Structure 1
């Protein structure tokens, strides 16, 4: 018998903003020195009103992850930026991140975008590369972020 994970990806709702904020602030990917980067992050109604925000739910409605796209973001006309991409700690390694990235690519194409940017959390850069992103540069430390971060791009054409 196989255990097939059913995932539905849909627009985020205002009712989910508290859970999205909690997912960001408690992510094990941002432990130790990285915690400062997400400690005060908030996903609220204003944020999801301004940015494409997509959530992944499991078979029983459980929140598995979310991804957001800023338009405009880095780059010029026709380009957007992946701002948040989180998979719940207990749901990682099951292909949910890749499903969300495929969904974000499709949504970006619907918006007429031809390129996506992401400034990656350093440990996550390999994930983006595996999704077809390529290195475009390095964002040097600034403010409360005391480490360099890879800037990657993905051409959608």
Structure 2
């Protein structure tokens, strides 16, 4: 499934497409450079790598500029168990609707795969965004030092059944 939108007011025309192994380095840079992971959160992504093997093994989709294929964001949907494993939007693309586009695409993919929900263990500052696009808080994922030193909100996106 490919989705595309055209932004008014000078924003980029964007398409959502399946990630390829060639995207791996760009996705890794996006994760490591995320302002959402500055300060106390920086250690979690400092060595993080989105490798070609991960892209091949999972449903990874990128939001890319139609003009130059610049990656503006991406997500990874795991099917068993259903989980939004990764979702990042480039720092300079935040506020342009890229995250909302990716969530809508993820929900369509989940629906097509026959899922009735998708779980997300969120980065604490992202909880408000996920709630604003339809996720419901279900609990808290407890810290797992040294990798994750803080508790994280656990949410679920309900996926509408086929009509």
TM-score normalised according to structure 2 size: 0.89
Q: Say if 2:160 is the partner of 1:150.
A: no
Q: Distance in 1 between matches of 2:157 and 2:47?
A: 28
For 2:75, which of 60, 67, 85 is the aligned residue?
Answer: 67
Q: Say if 2:94 is the partner of 1:92.
A: yes
Q: Runs of 4+ in structure 1 displaced over 3 angstroms?
A: none
The count of corresponding residues between Structure 1 and Structure 2 is 151
Which deviations, in whole Å up to 9, do the C-alpha atoms of 1:87-108 show, x marking residues without a partner?
A: 0001100100000100011011
Q: Say if 2:42 is the partner of 1:47.
A: no
Say if 2:12 and 2:65, in contact at 8 Å, map to a contact too: yes
Q: How does 1:95-134 map to 2 (within 5 A)?
A: 95-134=97-136
Q: Distance in 2 between matches of 1:154 and 1:59?
A: 28
What's the secondary structure of 1:98's corresponding residue?
helix
Q: Distance in 1 between matches of 2:111 and 2:135?
A: 16
Say if 2:20 and 2:56, in contact at 8 Å, map to a contact too: no
| TM-superposed deviation, 1:59 | 2.9
* Structure 1, gaps ≥5 residues long: 74-79
TM-score normalised according to structure 1 size: 0.92
